[in-house]
C-alpha cells in the first residue's frame, strides 16, 4: 500500500468513515480551518468533493491494514467516525455490527497507542435506556439494543486505552450528504407533504437533534484543543419527532394537517429504541466553546443545501 503524504509543518489528522455524512462535513470544515493536514480514509474510492486533503482507502476491519496506515501516516489526531449506525441492521446482523463497531475500534485504538496520537471516538445517545433523559456526561450507560451495546463496548476500549482520548456523544444526526444519498426526518417530511402524503410521526420519543455540521465542529474543537474525556455534542432543542415534523412543515409552508400524531407502539421494528434521551451540553459549551444551531436554523441550512445539491 503506497501512502504518499509529504512531510508538513502542520499536525496530521486522520478521519475514519470520511465518505459518510459526518466524514464529509469533517473534511470540509478541517480543510477550511487549515489547522491540520487532513487525511480522509474510507472503504473504497473517495466520494468526497473539493480538494486540500489526502484520501486513503482503508478497511478498518483489517487489523494489518489499520496498523500499516496509522503507523505510516503517524497522525497527531484520529477522529473515528466510521460505524454501522443503522439500529435495525445492527440488531439483524450482529456479527457485522460487532466487526465494524467494536473490533475495528480495537484495531484503531491499538494503532493509536503505538503512535501515541489523540483518539476521538464518536458515540451515541443509544448507549442509554431512555428512562431518564436528557443525560449529562456522568450518566451510566444502559443500552436497550445491540447497536447501543456495541457503542458502549467501543467507549470502554477507548476509555481503557493507553493514549490520550476523547469521546464525542451525539444524538439523531441530520444533514445533507454530497450526493443526497442519505435521508433524514426533514427530507422525509418535506418530500412526503409535497406530494400530499399523510404521515404518522411519534410523539412519545424525545431527542436533541444534531446538525451534522455542528457534530463535525464539536469534534474539531476537541481535536484543536486536544481535549480529553467525554463530551456531549448535540443540538440544544429537546423535541419529539412529531414536533420536528411540525417545524419542518411550517418552515416550508406545507400542510401540517397531513402529519398525524402517533406513538411508538404503532411501529414494529427489529431493534427497541430508547424513549427519552437527548443530551445536556453545558460541559461542551463551557470547555470547548461549542454552540449548536437551533433546529429551525438547521432546517434553513438544509433547505439551502438541497437547492445547491440539485443545481
**Can you name the CATH fold of 12-176+210-236+277-293?**
Rossmann fold (3.40.50)
Give the predicted TM-score (pTM) of the model: 0.97
Does residue 14 have a cis peptide bond before it, meaning omega lies within 30 degrees of 0? no
Strands, E, within the chain: which ranges?
12-16, 37-42, 54-57, 77-80, 118-124, 165-170, 173-174, 199-202, 210-211, 229-232, 259-262
The pLDDT of residue 68: 97
Q: Which three cell numbers stand for residue 255?
A: 400542510
Q: Which three cell numbers stand for residue 32?
A: 477550511
- In 3D, which of 11, 146, 151, 170 has the Cα closest to residue 77? 11
- β pairing state of 199-202 and 173-174: unpaired
Apex 178 CA angle, 172 and 181, nearest 5: 65
The pLDDT of residue 178: 84
Distance CA 45, CA 306 (A): 24
Apex 25 CA angle, 221 and 1, nearest 5: 100
Three-state SS sequence of 109-132: HHHHHHHCCEEEEEEEHHHCCCCC
- What is the Cα gyration radius of the chain? 19
Distance CA 212, CA 190 (A): 18
The pLDDT of residue 179: 75
Q: Which three cell numbers stand for residue 119?
A: 483518539
The pLDDT of residue 295: 98
Q: What string of pLDDT tens digits covers the 311 residues of the chain?
A: 556 666 667 999 999 999 999 999 999 999 999 999 999 999 999 999 999 999 999 999 999 999 999 999 999 999 999 999 999 999 999 999 999 999 999 999 999 999 999 999 999 999 999 999 999 999 999 999 999 999 999 999 999 999 999 999 999 999 999 877 778 999 999 999 999 999 999 999 999 999 999 999 999 999 999 999 999 999 999 999 999 999 999 999 999 999 999 999 988 899 999 999 999 999 999 999 999 999 999 999 999 999 888 87
Instruction: List the chain domain ranges.
Output: 12-176+210-236+277-293
Strand partners, 210: 173
Amino acid at each position: 500500500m503506497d501512502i504518499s503524504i509529504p512531510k508538513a509543518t502542520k499536525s496530521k489528522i486522520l478521519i475514519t468513515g470520511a465518505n459518510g455524512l459526518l466524514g464529509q462535513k469533517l473534511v470540509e470544515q478541517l480543510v477550511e480551518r487549515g489547522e491540520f493536514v487532513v487525511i480522509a480514509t474510507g472503504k473504497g474510492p473517495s466520494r468526497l468533493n473539493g480538494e486540500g486533503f489526502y484520501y486513503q482507502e482503508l478497511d478498518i476491519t483489517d487489523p494489518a491494514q489499520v496498523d500499516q496506515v496509522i503507523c505510516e501516516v503517524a497522525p497527531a489526531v484520529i477522529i473515528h467516525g466510521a460505524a454501522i449506525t443503522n439500529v435495525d441492521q445492527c440488531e439483524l446482523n450482529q456479527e457485522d455490527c460487532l466487526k465494524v463497531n467494536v473490533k475495528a475500534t480495537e484495531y484503531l485504538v491499538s494503532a493509536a497507542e503505538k503512535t501515541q496520537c489523540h483518539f476521538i471516538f464518536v458515540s451515541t445517545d443509544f448507549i442509554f435506556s431512555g428512562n431518564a433523559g436528557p443525560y449529562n456526561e456522568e450518566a451510566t450507560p444502559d443500552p436497550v439494543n445491540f447497536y447501543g451495546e456495541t457503542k458502549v463496548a467501543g467507549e470502554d476500549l477507548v476509555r481503557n486505552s493507553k493514549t490520550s482520548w476523547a469521546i464525542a456523544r451525539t444524538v439523531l444526526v441530520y444533514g445533507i450528504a454530497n450526493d443526497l444519498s442519505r435521508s433524514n426526518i426533514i427530507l422525509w417530511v418535506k418530500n412526503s407533504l409535497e406530494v400530499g402524503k399523510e404521515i404518522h410521526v411519534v410523539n412519545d420519543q424525545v431527542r436533541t437533534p444534531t446538525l451534522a455540521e455542528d457534530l463535525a465542529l464539536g469534534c474539531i474543537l476537541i481535536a484543536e484543543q486536544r481535549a480529553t474525556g467525554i463530551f456531549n455534542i448535540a443540538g440544544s432543542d429537546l423535541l419529539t419527532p412529531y414536533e420536528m415534523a411540525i417545524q419542518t412543515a411550517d418552515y416550508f409552508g406545507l400542510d401540517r394537517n397531513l402529519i398525524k400524531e402517533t406513538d411508538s407502539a404503532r411501529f414494529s421494528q427489529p431493534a427497541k429504541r430508547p424513549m427519552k434521551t437527548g443530551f445536556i451540553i453545558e460541559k461542551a459549551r463551557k470547555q470547548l466553546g461549542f454552540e449548536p444551531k437551533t433546529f429551525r436554523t438547521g432546517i434553513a441550512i438544509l433547505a439551502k443545501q438541497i437547492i445547491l445539491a440539485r443545481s
